[in-house]
Amino acid sequence: MFRRRVAVTGMGVVASCGIGTDAFWDGLCGDAPEGDRRVHDFDPSPHFENPKAVRRSDRCTQFAIAAADMALEQAGTLTADSFRRGVFIGTGIGGIATLEEQILIRHEKGSRRVSPFMVPMMMPNAAPAAVSMRHGFQGPAENTCTACAAGTHALANAARLIAHGRCDVVLAGGSEAPFVETAIAGFTNMTAFSSVGISRPFDAERDGFVMGEGAGIMLLEEWDMAVERGATILAEILGGASTADAHHITAPSPGGVGAITCMRLALEEAGVEPDQVRHINAHGTSTPLNDMAEALAMAEVFGPVIDARYVIQREVDYQYQESRYADTWVTKHLPKFASDYIVKNSLETKYRREVVKVHAVPRELARNKKRASKFEEQWNIHVSPGNIWYYQDDGTKSMLQEAAEQGWLPYNRVRQKEVFM
């Protein structure tokens, strides 16, 4: 499929360590604050028409609008048609502050005192709707509501809108304002918060995360359009992916199997090899289960592990056309004109299966044949036809030699850090 390039031409951020990209970076590089990560000294009024409009927007939406305004200001004058400008903003729990406030009002003062603006203020897609109305973006205005991954999912989905030709410009990112008593109580009772108020991902003493709030928005733009109008291109989005562990509502799958697959899918879409990656922005919740699974997944994808215990082939069915008289007396002995005419008018659609890549079975699943066979079963369901091979078998060695000759291995040997799919 033809894919258009996706440029980043603007960024905006509202965060506890700084509002605006410069202040945000200085804050990241400075001393860590103590306690929760609330946004202080935030004034939403410059981003709204009047005080009434501010009151009719949840804090989550206010953050998103402010960050979007910053991204647009940095991007400069856009040239895309309004119907080809979209908004894609993710959130985990949207306008939960509005919801809690209105529930208390109903409980204390009765149903007739509940605000008629409660629903449009609390809904997860309130932020993209407000941003699209503020700036006249008449393309898709959508939302992802996928917990901690929502903002990243929104960026990947927005990039695809441009890459596949639906939009030329998309404001994308995430926004969150979760500091309400109910949300805090829920996370506390999950034992997800750090007991000492320090987030220490991948540390032996880690015991949970520290809650924050804010928004981060990027202006994504079709590359050639950005170049043509003289925009400053800050970055390029090459690819992305998402998977589901299908394991547990909060705990990651053991060994980080879902994350392994997801990262390798993203690398494949981006056309990037693992050893080209210079920075990994980890989830890093500082919880025992997540950090263990995520560390294993990153080591599996990016670690220099050689000589996999089991390997598996990825096969693809190719469609092609061939004459039913191919390689017969008709095509060999009739004059060329006659044989070409016969071939042309006797074409049949056929399929052939070919190996296109050989991959290492993830280390945690390659400890024994039973585990590897389970991986093979799921591979055939979700990825492609393929069979596992034990690395010490003579047949495997011959197959790997052929794979190297055919270019199925990026380094002429099976590496567990190679692109998975």
| Entry pTM | 0.72
Angle subtended at Cα 227 by Cα 222 and Cα 233, rounded to the nearest 5 degrees? 80
pLDDT at 410: 42
pLDDT tens digits along 123-181: 999 999 999 999 999 999 999 999 999 999 999 999 999 999 999 999 999 999 999 99
- Per-residue model confidence as pLDDT tens digits over 92-114: 999 999 999 999 999 999 999 99
Q: Of all helices (H) and strands (E), which one includes residue 379?
A: helix 369-382
Q: What is the pLDDT of residue 370?
A: 83
Write a three-state SS string for 114-150: CCCCHHHHHCCCHHHHHHHHHHCCCCCEECCCCHHHH
How far is residue 104's CA from residue 315's CA, in Å, rounded to a whole number? 58
Q: How far is CA 125 from CA 117, 242, 316, 344, 400, in A?
A: 14, 20, 39, 55, 50
Domains and CATH numbers, the chain: 6-178+213-237 (3.40.47.10), 310-318+352-406 (no CATH)
What pLDDT score was predicted for residue 418? 34
Confidence check: pLDDT of 355 > 90: no
User: From CA 360, how far away is CA 418, in angstroms rounded?
Assistant: 8
Q: Which residue has the higher pLDDT, 192 or 419?
A: 192
Q: Is pLDDT of 51 > 60?
A: yes
State the pLDDT at residue 411: 40
Cα of first residue to Cα of last residue in the chain, in angstroms, is 17
pLDDT bracket for residue 413 (50, 70, 90): very low
- In angstroms and rounded to an integer, the radius of gyration of the C-alpha atoms of the chain is 27
pLDDT(59) > 90: yes
* Contact by Cβ (8 Å): 175, 127: yes
DSSP-derived letter for residue 291 is: H
Mean pLDDT of the chain: 85
The pLDDT of residue 360 is: 76
Q: Predicted confidence band at 221 (pLDDT cuts at 50, 70, 90)?
A: very high
